[in-house]
Amino acid sequence: MRIGELAALAGTSPRALRHYESLGLLTARRDHRGYRTYDEADLRLLRQIRTLQDFGFGLEETRPFVECLRAGNPSGDVCPASLATYRAKLAELDAVIGELSAVRETVRRRLGQAEAAVATEPGCAFSPPAARAGPAEPRRG
């Protein structure tokens, strides 16, 4: 199949395929007229790349999975390098979740403090501009 057909089947663009090719993630063969040609194995590689990208993996992080498929394995995630990449991504996600949880706790605590202060203090003198402006004037057309 040609580049446009492969791109359509994979839900991406020919430009993205050329980029993957420039990174060595996808290898095109050339027909007698010099056009790039691909086969079902290339579609499997591309689907693996796209799935991993949907999970938040960068293109370089997809390389072990691509190489695993190229080695003839039925899946890109059965090789030791793929498993190591999964472990690294999981550790990265756990770290981000930890950071976000800490931020969430800080915001929750500050909200609680602010709500307690509002309950004991008179109303705030500041009100947002939209609240001060009153009802909007109807448009005249």
Question: What is the pLDDT, as a whole number, of residue 125?
Answer: 66
Domain that holds residue 92: 3-120
- Higher-confidence residue of 60 and 126: namely 60
Residue 129, domain member (yes or no): no
Residue 126 has pLDDT above 60, yes or no: yes
CA 37 to chain centre: 28
Domain count, the chain: 1
The mean pLDDT of 23-51, rounded to a whole number, is 94
Residue 12 has pLDDT above 70, yes or no: yes
Residue 118: which pLDDT band, with cuts at 50, 70 and 90? confident
Residue 126, domain member (yes or no): no
The mean pLDDT of 103-113, rounded to a whole number, is 96
Residue 29, domain member (yes or no): yes
Tens of pLDDT, residues 45-104: 999 999 999 999 999 999 999 999 999 999 999 999 999 999 999 999 999 999 999 999
- 6: exposed, middle or buried (Cβ count in 10 Å: 0-12, 13-18, 19+): buried
Residue 112, domain member (yes or no): yes
Q: What is the CATH number of the domain that holds 11?
A: 1.10.1660.10
Residue 128, domain member (yes or no): no
Round to whole Å and give the CA distance between 78 and 88. 15
The pTM of this model reads 0.74
Asked whether the beta carbons of 7 and 13 are under 8 A apart, the reply is yes
- Please tell me the number of Cα atoms within 13 Å of 31 on its side-chain side: 9
Round to whole Å and give the CA distance between 45 and 76. 8
Round to whole Å and give the CA distance between 2 and 31. 9
Residue 54, domain member (yes or no): yes
Residue 130: which pLDDT band, with cuts at 50, 70 and 90? low
- Higher-confidence residue of 12 and 141: namely 12
Residue 18, domain member (yes or no): yes
